[in-house]
Chain A
């Protein structure tokens, strides 16, 4: 990853405001931002390690460890709650065998909360491996569980 970072900085610059785009690029490349990269980033952008750590931990998107094979982001904001979101969440955690906010022990699936995908009239909504899915119901969760366990 060190080479990736130096290449990226050579192409896009080392100004402080490049930090978020660079973090996105790293996560896209590696799936997560390994804590061991903090000093590398600090060096590359001429910032303190505390500064880099502070930014990475502030934003919910940045992962500190590799993601599960399937990532299910379930919306739990008000609009989806009004459309039966709680029941879908209950079904998902039960059928996929992992609590909200966690990765399953075998690394096959994680369920993460998300607060609004902007599909508020056709909820409950989810992003399943980056794909938006509307009007989620128990039957769709059952299908997903079969795919995950296959």
Chain B
């Protein structure tokens, strides 16, 4: 989809018209060289990028200035450890032959030669933790479902990748759909499930199309396990696992209180494995290569690799799969090459709209679940959004609250009302800090349906900024501890981190020293 958005359809057509055999692959993951064309000649693949339709002749005679040599040799790719994304961008996504030739189905074959409990043990031993954000050990989740007694069990893949700055799920589904299918079939064997659902957000039409084609083509290989794609309908909260289940059941996507855990009473009340795309797609490698091969990479209790997504104002944005432990600064400056605008990096948001903002002074942080939690943040789905020094952090804090207000499922009060109150407080702060508010702020004033989410702009400020900041902290505390799910519970992360690390943008009279807790 990324290449298509950059004009790849025209490029492909031009090569076809020139008499070439064109194979459309998924993305390799480095967007600054897309549309990327690789020319295969005598067994070698030479890359060119970015390429436009006018470049066909020069590419074919090898004289084009954008000649990159072997793509695998580019530093961006050579320094990665691609376990999950090993095939992405190399193969024809829906070709079963290609998948098999590149090591596909080995994991499923091995899994099916073993008793269920042993497959669960292997996944547990690999140290794999849920890659969707929560970081819960996958093997333990599977064991709960395996041990649950029920004639019906389900595997649900959460492909509702709504976080800004994340695109790994989309890339995998578009570029290597059988990897996800194989992972789900292994999960089905491991827990005794007969049917699976892949819940894909409607904003990803290419992923939906590719997954449906791949499911149909591979049905005989994963049988008796059956699979279907369910399309979301534009609700961010459906990325929360219980809201997602309600949505598949045909209801409003509202969060369920836990317990009961979905592992015991999930979809249609039956034991259900719900995992993210990346968690399930990591499983074929683990089964094929062994738990140790996976667990030997990583840092602390974060084992294996993480497909990190470099996004926002970054020079070399894209997908970078690497073992845990690489520092935030290495990712932003060395791999990402700093900002695309060439200005100084001021803030990076890690983990999507509910993740904390960090200044460059925190760039020593190793990429690891525990290290980020300790620093008042989260890894989430490993999206890193880079901002240069033109960013207004008070505006970003307001945006986080506004997003929560627009996307709240409405079931719990701290999230539903707290977020709207938070927007009002931020309006007071922005008005009181003096000077005109950023022009962006005004444009944010319409909600999803174009209606004003609050009715009046604050015209008279009769309380100090410090008092408003105190109120914001109290409100954040209520949202954090009183919300049913992560939407309300994690919105304080971007708000408080912006306040803690960039107090000057809030016009606070004294440096804020209170911890985010």
Contact = CB atoms under 8 A, between A and B. Distances in A.
Interface of A: 15-21, 23-24, 54-55, 58-62, 76-83, 86, 89-90, 93, 99-102, 113-123, 125, 127, 130, 132-135
B447 A120 contact: no
Top 9 A-B residue pairs of the complex, sorted by shortest distance between their CB atoms:
A121-B317, A101-B450, A77-B164, A120-B311, A59-B233, A60-B234, A19-B250, A82-B312, A134-B5
B399 interface: yes
B353 A77 contact: yes
B443 interface: yes
Contacts of A102: 450
27 contacts: A20-B230, A20-B250, A21-B230, A21-B231, A24-B233, A59-B232, A60-B233, A60-B234, A60-B235, A79-B164, A79-B165, A81-B399, A82-B385, A83-B313, A115-B403, A116-B162, A116-B163, A117-B1, A118-B1, A118-B2, A118-B169, A119-B1, A120-B309, A121-B317, A122-B6, A132-B4, A133-B5
B202 A61 contact: yes
B188 to A, nearest CB: 19
A110 B235 CA distance: 20
B230 A86 contact: no
B12 to A, nearest CB: 15
Contacts of B32: 121
Contact of A120 (B385, B387, B399): B385
Interface in B134-178: 161-167, 169-170
Interface residues of B, number: 68
Nearest to B268: A17
A90 B353 CA distance: 22
Contacts, number: 163
B1 A120 contact: no
Interface string B364-387: 000000000000000000010111
B314 to A, nearest CB: 6
Given A77-B353, A79-B311, A113-B448, A122 B165 contact: no
B454 to A, nearest CB: 15
B163 A59 contact: no
Given A19-B250, A132-B1, A135-B6, A120 B443 contact: no
B159 to A, nearest CB: 11
B516 interface: no
Contact of B310 (A80, A121, A133): A121
B34 to A, nearest CB: 8
Contact of B446 (A62, A100, A135): A100
Given A78-B385, A86-B439, A121-B318, 10 more contacts: A15-B250, A24-B202, A54-B252, A55-B252, A58-B253, A80-B164, A82-B313, A86-B443, A100-B446, A125-B5
